[in-house]
C-alpha cells in the first residue's frame, strides 16, 4: 500500500451517487502500481451542494476531480476554461485545478476511440451508426466527426437526436425504427443507450450478416447481449470497460504527473467486481 505524505496529490470522483463507480478502484490500481504519493477518493455530492463542494476542493488543494452523473453539465459552467473536447461534447468529466483556476475537458470521446484502437478497430475506417442520443452519444459523435467519419444517429426520441444535430450539424439523423436496415450501410455500430445493462432489457437491433464492428459502451455486465450476438455472427465486438479505462488516462496524467497504461492486468483488476454476463 502506498504511504501518503503531507505532499500527496489528491483527486476523486464527484457524482450522486458514486457507490457504483469503478474509478476509485481504477485510479487506485495505477497509484499503487507506480508507488505514487497520491490518493483518489469517492466523493458523493448532492446536486445542490456540488458547486460549493468543488470550490471547497479547490481551496483544500485538490489536484482536480472527475465528474459523473448528474453533474457533467454543472461542471461545464464552473470552469474558468474548457478545452475543445468539452465544448464539442457540451459537458465536462475531468477537472484540473491549478492555482485556483479550474480547467475542464471531456475524455469520454478519446476514451472511446482509444478503446477501439486497442482492439484493432480503426474508428475512421468507415461510417458509424450511433444508437442513442444522450450525453455519451454526443461525446462520441463529436470525436468521430472530428476524424472526418460520417456519423448517423438513431434515437428512440427522434427530437433529441435532431437537437444534437443542431449542435453538430454534420450529423445525420434517422428514425429509431430504421436502425435495423441502416446497420448494413455502416462500418461501426455503437450502443450508447443503457439497454443491455443489468436490470435493463437487451438492445433490439438486427445486426444482419454484413461485417460491421460492434461497440457497446455498457460494461455491466462485461458481455452484453449485443456483444454476445455480434460475436456469434463472427463480428468484431468491443465492450465498454475499455472506454472507462482509457477515459481515465488524461485525468490521471494531469493530477499525478505520469501517463498510465491500459493493459490486461488493469483490465482484469477492474473487471474483478463486474459480472461477466
Ligand atoms: P443518457 O444521457 O441518459 O442517454 C441515454 C440514451 O439512451 C438516450 O438517448 C435515451 O433515449 C436512450 N434510451 C434509454 N432507455 C432506452 C430504451 N429503453 N430504449 C431505447 N433507447 C433508450 O445516458 P448516457 O450518459 O449517454 O449513458 C448511456 C449509457 O452509457 C449508460 O449505461 C452509461 O452507464 C454508459 N456509459 C459508459 C461509459 C463508459 O466509459 N463505458 C461512459 C459513459 C456512459 P431517449 O432520448 O428516447 O430517452
Tracing cell 465544448 back to the chain, one arrives at 87
The CB of 135 under 6 Å from ligand 1? The reply is yes
**Residue nearest ligand 1's atom 18 by CA:** 195
CA angle, residues 65, 83, 124, in degrees to nearest 5:
105
- By CB atoms closer than 10 A (0-12, 13-18, 19+), residue 263 is exposed
Whether 130 contacts 192, CB under 8 Å? yes
CA of 47 to the centre of ligand 1 (A): 20
The CB of 217 under 6 Å from ligand 1? The reply is yes
Q: Is 55 tagged catalytic?
A: no
Catalytic residue among 7, 72, 160, 231: 72
Q: Give SS3 for 208.
A: coil
Q: What is the pLDDT along the chain (277 residues), one digit of tens a residue?
A: 678 999 999 999 999 999 999 999 999 999 999 999 999 999 999 999 999 999 999 999 999 999 999 988 889 999 999 999 999 999 999 999 999 999 999 999 999 999 999 999 999 999 999 999 999 999 999 999 999 999 999 999 999 999 999 999 999 999 999 999 999 999 999 999 999 998 899 999 999 877 789 999 999 999 999 999 999 999 999 999 999 999 999 999 999 999 999 999 999 999 998 999 8
Amino acid at each position: 500500500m502506498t504511504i501518503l505524505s503531507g505532499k500527496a496529490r489528491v483527486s476523486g470522483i464527484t457524482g450522486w451517487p458514486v457507490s457504483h463507480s469503478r474509478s476509485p478502484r481504477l485510479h487506485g490500481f495505477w497509484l499503487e502500481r507506480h508507488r505514487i504519493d497520491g490518493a483518489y477518493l469517492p466523493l458523493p455530492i448532492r446536486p445542490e451542494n456540488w458547486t460549493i463542494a468543488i470550490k471547497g476542493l479547490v481551496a483544500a488543494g485538490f489536484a482536480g476531480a472527475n465528474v459523473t452523473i448528474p453533474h457533467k453539465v454543472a461542471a461545464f459552467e464552473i470552469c474558468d476554461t474548457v478545452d475543445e473536447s468539452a465544448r464539442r461534447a457540451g459537458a465536462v468529466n475531468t477537472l484540473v485545478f491549478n492555482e485556483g483556476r479550474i480547467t475542464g475537458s471531456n475524455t469520454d470521446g478519446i476514451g472511446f476511440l482509444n478503446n477501439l484502437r486497442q482492439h484493432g478497430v480503426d474508428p475512421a475506417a468507415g461510417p458509424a451508426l450511433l444508437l442513442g442520443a444522450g450525453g455519451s452519444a454526443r461525446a462520441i459523435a463529436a470525436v468521430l466527426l472530428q476524424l472526418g467519419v460520417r456519423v448517423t444517429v438513431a434515437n428512440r426520441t427522434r427530437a433529441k437526436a435532431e437537437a444534437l444535430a443542431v449542435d453538430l450539424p454534420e450529423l445525420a439523423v434517422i428514425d429509431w425504427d430504421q436502425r435495423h436496415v441502416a446497420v448494413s450501410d455502416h462500418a461501426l455500430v455503437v450502443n450508447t443507450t443503457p439497454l443491455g445493462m443489468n436490470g435493463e432489457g437487451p438492445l433490439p437491433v438486427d445486426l444482419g450478416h454484413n461485417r460491421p464492428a460492434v461497440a457497446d459502451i455498457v460494461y455491466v455486465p462485461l458481455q452484453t447481449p449485443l456483444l454476445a450476438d455480434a460475436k456469434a455472427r463472427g463480428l468484431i465486438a468491443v465492450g465498454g470497460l475499455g472506454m472507462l479505462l482509457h477515459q481515465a488516462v488524461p485525468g490521471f496524467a494531469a493530477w499525478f504527473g505520469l501517463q498510465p497504461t491500459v493493459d490486461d492486468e488493469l483490465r482484469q483488476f477492474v473487471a474483478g467486481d463486474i459480472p461477466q454476463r
